[in-house]
Amino acid sequence: MQRGPGSAVRAVAVAVLAAGALATAAAQTPPAPAAAAAQAADPAHGKAVSYTCLGCHGIDGYKNAYPMYSVPELRGQNPQYLVIALEGYRDGDRAHITMHSQTESLSAQDMTDVAAFLAGTPLKSSGKAAGTLPQAAQLCVSCHGQDGIAVAPIYPSLAGQHADYIVRALNEYKHGGRKNAVMKQFAGNLKDEDIAEIAAYFSQLTPSLATEPRPFTRLSE
């Protein structure tokens, strides 16, 4: 299995920062980045950080304008992947002006905490194939899972994600708005009709990603 070199490096960097935040880091530095990120997360602080985020990510069906597509669902996603995504927007590996300005001021700890809060309990794979996999998605499931639930915490789950967001993401990898080398290669080979079929397939799988309900009624503050 391949990993994007940038993602791996960033994941390690997060682990190092997260481990540094632990008083006992020297004695108990965890072996895997996943363990470090999970141990260091403070969902209560994450909830405080998420206040602005939920203005978009907490409203089911909320749309990005120009171009128009659904804001991604984060509930059930892998928190470690969410941190990698946030770093991507911050560092310009992913082009999105709003998400860039949202992430610029977040510390590594903020990212770990808000990712843990927004993800909640990550989806668990049933280990079973679901329905008839489109031909163009045969290779994808080695990382994104037979049932759309990622096989490792650094990969995103796709089960139940909005179809129009999946289309948007694949086009971003294909055309360079997102720079992840692994996904650029896989998306680059897809035709528009493959992308539409893949998005329709993954978006209807269950158990599925969901939207964290926004606990406030005001739309802006």
Q: By CB under 6 A, name the binding residues for ligand HEC.
A: 1-2, 4, 7, 52-53, 55-57, 64, 71-72, 74, 82, 84-86, 88, 94, 96, 98-99, 102, 114, 137, 139-140, 142-144, 155-156, 158, 166, 168-170, 178, 180, 182-183, 186, 190, 198
Phi, psi of 167 (to 5 degrees): -60, -45
Phi, psi of 139 (to 5 degrees): -80, -25
Q: Based on CB atoms, which residue is closest to ligand HEC, 19 or 99?
A: 99
Q: Based on CB atoms, which residue is closest to ligand HEC, 21 or 133?
A: 133
Q: Based on CB atoms, which residue is closest to ligand HEC, 28 or 91?
A: 91
Q: How far is the CB of 30 from ligand HEC (least distance, A)?
A: 21
The SS3 of residue 41 is: coil
* Contact status, residue 36 vs residue 21, Cβ threshold 8 Å: no
Q: How far is the CB of 22 from ligand HEC (least distance, A)?
A: 22
* Contact status, residue 83 vs residue 37, Cβ threshold 8 Å: yes
Q: What angle do CA 122, 165, 70 make, to 5 degrees?
A: 95
Q: Which of 101, 79, 78 is nearest to 89 (CA)?
A: 101
Q: How far is the CB of 193 from ligand HEC (least distance, A)?
A: 13
